[in-house]
Chain A
Amino acid sequence: MQEFSDREILDLFSKEDTRNYAFNMLVRQYQQRLYWHIRKMVIVHDDADDILQNVFIKAYKGLIAFREDSKIYTWLYKIATNECITFLNNKKKRFFLPIVDVEAQLSRHIENDPRMSGDRIQMKLQQAILTLPEKQRLVFNMKYFDEMKYEEMSEILGTSVGALKASYHHAVKKIEEFIRSH
C-alpha cells in the first residue's frame, strides 16, 4: 500500500472534494497500528473496534484544525490512548466494580479467547500485564510490543523520558515476579 506523507494527507483533506479520499488513506495507513494499541489495552475485539471507530471520527473532526506540532500518527496515538483510558474508567464506573475485578474479567477473557495468538507463555504474559497499573501497562505495551522509542512515548503520554524508563523498569519487574509465581 502506498504510504502518504502527513503533508499530502493534510493537503488533500483541506479540499472538500478530496476530503473523504484523504480520510480513507489516513484510515488505511494507521488502522492496524492503532487497532493493536487499543486491543492490547481493552483486550476484547468488539470494544477495540468501537474505540478505533471513535478515534477516527474524532480525527475526522479535528484534522482540519491540525497544527502539525506533531506527526499525525503521534496525534492519533494520543487520541487512542485517551479513548482507551476513558473506556476502562467508564467500564469500572458502569459496573461499580473495583479495578481488580475488571482486570480479572479481562484475564478470564484472555483464557477463553480463541483468537489469542501464541502459546501459553503469551497468555501468561498478558495476564501478568493486566496486573499492572494502567500507565505501566501502556508503557510496557508501547515499548515491548510496539517497539516505540521513549521520545515518541514521551510525546504521546506527556511524561518525561526518565519517568517512562523508570515506569518500564517497574513494569518488567512486576511481570517477572508474576510469571515466576504462577
Chain B
Amino acid sequence: MNKKPNPIPEHLAGKQPFEAPVGYFDSFPRQMAYRIEGKQELKRSFDFEYLFRPVAITTVLLFMLATAVLTFRNYDGADAEAQHSGETLLSYVEQEGILDEMSEDELLEHVYDENFVLPESEEDSLSNAFTEELAEDDFIDFETYDEL
C-alpha cells in the first residue's frame, strides 16, 4: 500500500522560519539595560514627585494661610487712624476746640507724645497755633524768646 507523502516538510522542523536583523541579539541586552536603568530613574523621579509635590503644595498653602491670619490679627483701628494726615488731625483738633479745652501740660503731653508724630509742615502749624494761644495770654515775650 502506498503511503501518502507528508505535506509538512520534515526538514523545516526545529528550524526558525524567520530571520532577525543583523546584530539584533548583540545589541538587545544593552537596550534592555538602558530600559531598566531608565525605569529605575523614572521610579526615583516618580517617588520624588509623588512624595514631595503634595508636601510642597501643602507647605505653600499653610504659609499663605498663616500670613493671612497674622495680617488680620495684627490689624488695629489705631493703625488706620495713624494713617490720617496731620492736616486732617489738625482740622479735627481745631473743629472740636480741643486746643481751647486743653491745659498747657495736657497739650505738651500730646505734642511730645512719641506715638503722635506729625509731618514737619503740620508740626509748624500746630506749634504756631500753640504759641499764638500763649501769646494771647501774654505768657511769653516774643522778642526775648527770639533772642534766646
A52 within 8 A of B: yes
Could you tell me which residues of chain B, from 27 to 51, have a CB within 8 Å of some CB in chain A? 28-29, 31-33, 35-37, 39
**B15 within 8 Å of A (CB atoms):** yes
Contacts of B36 in A (CB 8 A): 20, 23, 57, 60
Known: A27-B28, A60-B36. A40 touches B17 (CB 8 A): yes
Residue on B nearest A32 in the bound complex, by CB: B25
Q: Is the CB of B7 within 8 A of A113?
A: no
Interface of A is mostly: helix
Question: Residue A36 at the B interface, CB < 8 A?
Answer: yes
Inter-subunit contact A115/B20 (CB<8 Å): yes
Which of A23, A27, A147 lies at the interface centre, i.e. has the most chain B CB atoms within 10 A of its CB? A27
Residue of chain A at shortest CB distance from B13? A144
**Nearest B residue to A144 by beta-carbon distance?**
B13
Chain B interface: which size bin? Answer: 20 to 34
A104 contacts partner chain B, Cβ-Cβ < 8 Å:
no
Minimal beta-carbon separation of A159 from chain B (angstroms): 22
Give Cα A115 to B19, complex, Å: 5
**Closest Cβ–Cβ distance, residue B14 to chain A (whole Å):** 5
Chain A positions 113 through 154: 1 when the CB is less than 8 Å from some CB of chain B, otherwise 0: 101111001100110000000000000000011110000000
What chain A residues lie within 8 Å of B37 (beta carbons)? 20
A175 on interface, CB distance cutoff 8 Å: yes
Chain B residues with CB under 8 Å of A24's CB are 29, 32-33
Q: Does B12 contact A (CB under 8 A)?
A: yes
Question: Is A35 part of the binding interface, using a Cβ–Cβ cutoff of 8 Å?
Answer: yes
Contact A147 B8 (CB under 8 A): no
Q: Is the CB of A53 within 8 A of B20?
A: no
CB pair B9 A27 closer than 8 Å = no
* Smallest CB gap from A129: residue in B: B17
* Residue pair B17, A31 in contact (C-beta under 8 Å): no
**Beta-carbon contacts of B47-77 to A below 8 Å, as 1s and 0s?**
0000000000000000000000000000000
Across the interface, which residues of A come within 8 angstroms of B32, CB to CB? Answer: 23-24, 27, 53, 56
* Contacts of A1-56 to chain B: CB distance below 8 A: 20, 23-24, 27-28, 31-32, 35-36, 39-40, 43, 45, 49, 52-53, 56
Residues from chain B with a CB closer than 8 A to the CB of A40 are 16-18
Please tell me if the beta carbons of B8 and A172 are within 8 angstroms of each other in the complex.
yes
22 A-B pairs in the complex with CB atoms less than 8 angstroms apart:
A23-B33, A23-B36, A27-B29, A32-B25, A36-B18, A39-B20, A40-B17, A49-B24, A53-B35, A56-B32, A57-B39, A60-B36, A115-B21, A116-B19, A117-B18, A122-B12, A122-B17, A125-B8, A144-B8, A147-B13, A172-B8, A176-B8
